[in-house]
Every structure is written in structure tokens, then in C-alpha cells.
Amino acid sequence: MRIAKLQGCVVGLLAVAGIAIPALAQPDPEPRPVHIDECASSGDHLGISRVVEIDTKGGPHFGGSQGGHNSFLEPGEVLLTFDDGPMRSHTRAVLKALADQCTKATFFMVGRMAVAAPDMVKEVADAGHTVGSHTWSHKNLGILGVTRGRQEVEAAVSAVSAAGGKPISPFFRYPYLSGSKTVDAYTRTRDIATFWIDVDSKDYTTRDPNSVIRRVMAQLEQKGKGIILMHDIQVSTVRALPRLLDELHAKGYRVVHAVPKSDLSTVAEFDAIAEKALAAKADKTRVSKLADRAVTWAADPEPVEGQRHHPKSVKRAVPPAKPTSSEALPWGTTPAAKAKKPSKPAHSELPWQSTIFGY
Ligand SMILES: [Zn+2]
């Protein structure tokens, strides 16, 4: 569906590269057509050099030492990836920078962020980018058991799918790049591919775009190719991206667009949870809009593009509603979770992720 949205195609290209992609062992008799439009192939922009369709059967791992250096990238090729979003104020600027260069990326979305900004999930998907998942609440799966790990994985898959209104890719990235053998075992049964990284922008450590650009280009120069990690919730990346993409183009790097052979199905019990969380968010939005009208129009809850939210101004205008159990912990509250709630704001009100998230 995503691919079919690309109109005016002049190049029909299906490229499957990399000896480790399971698709090679199981040829698809009817590969779906993959197109690169004229803007992406003209050479005037960074564009896309090829589309790699990935068969995720068996839950392969890609990139980095944790991924066994298993790569579908050729020398000079990069995969652009953005974690932790979507966040309207920042993700929209990222989408614009990518569109200006007619190029595509993969977004590993956090379930709670998707519930907080479902329209942004749709915008990312409608722009033709690949949407994967990054757990429900950015927990460190390396220290969780398999039950909680499964909940984090599945709640995110259901939430991002429901927010976007269509299935997502079976592409997954661990928060903090902290893997778990038990979660690995589970994602393999679900045919979910795990993406590690080759180039780390470390955009969360700085607000300086030059630092992001220097770091990415230096690592690429050393490695010659790779999966690049950025965060669409980080202002440094928002500021760096237009120049970084220019520089990638100028240096002759080529962008690969990774798409899945098959979309990811969801698990019914988590679909119900996701729908509940989205409904709670919609209710809260309605209440907030009414409160805005009644209380004040002075505080703009929609932050200026490229700037961080200003939580205090939003809080003054609309006191956060008490979080529902479905938002706090989608698979049900626990005494520990209940005890923590009073000291923490509702996730949909504040961009706490931008300061807490590392990877
Ligand atoms: Zn992350």
C-alpha cells in the first residue's frame, strides 16, 4: 500500500541485496513492484538509490556488532533511521528535510508517542517512509523478563498500527540498544527483524547540529556504509538534517529504502489495549480543546517548529488530566505502577522522552 502511493514512477526497481536476507532462501513467486519516483532518481537530490525488500521470516538481525555485522548495504550505501518519535514539533521538520531531498527513512516509533500523536504516524507512513516499532514505553528490555518484554513489544506494534490506521513493518529496534536473548527468542517467533546500528549520531548528547553532522560523516568515512541512528525527537537532528543530507549527497553516499516483504500482524489482546489508549487520548484532546476555549488562548499548545515543547505553558493552560490505567501501563496497573503515577505527568501531555531517552 505504501509503495503503491508513489505516483509518476519512471523506474521500477526491486533490489534484494545481502546474502543473509532469508528471502533469498525462499523466493517469492510474485514480488510486489517497488518503484522509485523521478524526484528520487534524478540525481539532483540525495534521493534513493534502491529499495531493499526484506523478508523478516525467522526474525533476522541487521547491522552493528550486535547484529553480527549482517548487512544488506553495499559500500557507499546508508539507511537513515529515526527513533523515539513521533513528536509533532520535531518529526514534521524531519519529514520536510527528507522530502526536500526526495529520500526515505525508517522510523522506529514508541507506542506511547504514537498514541500521543496518531496523526503524525499517518503523516510519516503517508510520506512513504517505513514505520517500525521501538517498544511501548522505551523500557530497557535487557533487564526485563520475557513477559514484560513481550508486552512492551506487542503493545507498541498494536499502538503504532492503530494510530496509523494500517499495519506496520516487522522492523524493531531495542531501546538503549539493550538486547535481550529472551525477547530475541520471542521476536523470532513473530518474524520481527531487529535493526542495530553502524553509525551513531549521538544527537541526544548535544543541541549543536554541527556536532551531529561531524560525528555521522566521520563514522561513515571510517566504515564506508551503514545504518545511521538519529532521533526525530532531538532538536540537534532537526537542525542538522538538511545540511547532513546535502553532505551525504555531495560525498556520494547513496540511500537505501528498506521495506518489508510482509507487514506485521498484531495480537488481539494488545489491539484492545491500544484502541483504549487512543480513545482515552482522543477524549483528553477534546477536553483540552474545551479547556483552551474556556481558560485561555494565550498559551499555544502547538510548539513552534524546530523548538521543544514548553511543558509549563501547556500545563498552565490545561492541567493534565489524570492518566488512565491504559496509558500508564497498557496491560493493567500494578501496585508499583500506581504508586509511581502521582509524581509523573501523563505521557501525552509532556515530551518527557526528549530528555530521558538516550537511544
Ligand atoms: Zn530510543
Distance CA 289, CA 214 (A): 42
Entry pTM: 0.77
Average pLDDT over residues 287-294: 73
Give the distance (Å) from ligand 1 centre to CA of residue 171.
14
Q: Evaluate if residue 97 carries a pLDDT over 60.
A: yes
Q: Tabulate helix, strand, coil % of the chain (nearest 5).
A: 45, 15, 40
CA of 18 to the centre of ligand 1 (A): 26
* pLDDT at site 315: 35
**Distance (Å) from CA 11 to ligand 1 centroid:** 34
The rounded Å distance from CA 185 to ligand 1 centre is 21
Res. 19 pLDDT band, cuts 50 70 90:
very low
Which is nearest to 14 in space by CA: 261, 313, 297? 261
**What one-letter code names the amino acid at 317?**
A
3-state secondary structure of 341: helix
> Does the pLDDT at position 13 exceed 80?
no
Q: How far is the CA of 84 from the centre of ligand 1 (A)?
A: 5
Q: Specify burial of residue 134 (Cβ count, 10 A radius: 0-12, 13-18, 19+).
A: buried
The alpha carbon of 105 and the centre of ligand 1 are apart by a number of angstroms equal to: 16
Q: Grid coordinates representing 239?
A: 537542525
The string of pLDDT tens digits covering residues 48-92 is 999 999 999 999 999 999 888 889 999 999 999 999 999 999 999
pLDDT attached to residue 226: 97
Q: Which CATH number fits domain 3-260: 3.20.20.370, 3.40.50.1470, 3.20.20.70, 3.40.30.10?
A: 3.20.20.370
For residue 309, report the distance from its CA to the centre of ligand 1, in Å.
19
- From the CA of 230, how far away is ligand 1's center (Å)? 9
| All CATH 3.20.20.370 domain ranges in the chain, comma separated | 3-260
Judged on CB neighbours under 10 Å (0-12, 13-18, 19+), 335 is exposed
Average pLDDT, integer, range 12-31: 41
Give Cα 163 to chain centroid, integer Å.
13
